[in-house]
Structure formats: C-alpha cells, structure tokens
Amino acid sequence: MYRQLRGRARLSTCLLAPLVLALTACGGGSDSSPAPAATAVLAADDTLTLVAGNSGLVLTNDTLGGAPATVGTNGNVLFNVTSTSLPAGVTLVDGVLNIAATALPGSSSIT
C-alpha cells in the first residue's frame, strides 16, 4: 500500500491558490514498489519566505523511517502535487518550489 502524507508550506511572495501537496513513500530510486506498512512517515509543516526569482525545498524537515525524505535518484519518496494546476510563475518539481522573478508579491498557504 502506498502511503500519502500531506505537508503544508506557508509562502510570503506569491498569491497562490490553495493546493494539496502529497508525498507517496515508495521503495526509492527506480523502484516504485510500495514502502513497508510499518515505515514511519512524517511530513512536518514548512514556513518558507521566498523572494521572487528564488526557490525553497519543502522536504527539508520531513522524514521517512527516521531518515530525511529525499527524491530523485536513490530517493526514498515520490513527490506528487494533487492540485490540478499551480499559479502562473510557480513550479514545484521534486519538492523544490520555484517562484519566478515575475511573480506577484503577497502571501499564501499551501495545504
């Protein structure tokens, strides 16, 4: 069974529509097999203050089985955005939230 957890990030820079961030814990790397049912998954809330043109990692304080949550080659989680779209100028790839230099100022919560 895949495990999903929800993380929240509070941003100060862009006006963002609410969206849900979900992590799916898997075997890691190219292995997409589910994580064992006993693996402890912890997604802690994040508070990010991002200046337009910069980025922040939303997995910094998250863990899987006591190890830091990581994505990509040899990673231990898969990162999926369950929202249908992100606002213009905002991208989220492998847990990295990028704010374009053209993003409008403001603040928002992502849950």
For the chain, give every domain's residue range. Answer: 3-110
Q: What is the mean pLDDT of the chain?
A: 66
Two tokens, residue 33: 């097999």
pLDDT at position 57, please?
Answer: 86
**CA atoms of 80 and 89, how far apart (whole Å):** 18
pLDDT in tens, 12-21: 333 333 333 4
**CA atoms of 18 and 86, how far apart (whole Å):** 9
pLDDT in tens, 14-73: 333 333 344 444 444 455 555 444 466 677 777 777 888 888 888 888 888 888 888 888
List all residues 6 or more positions away from 30 whose beta carbon is below 8 Å from its beta carbon: none
pLDDT at position 13, please?
Answer: 37
pLDDT at position 25, please?
Answer: 45
Helix locations, the chain, DSSP H? none
Is residue 1's pLDDT more than 50?
no
Q: What is the DSSP letter of 101?
A: T
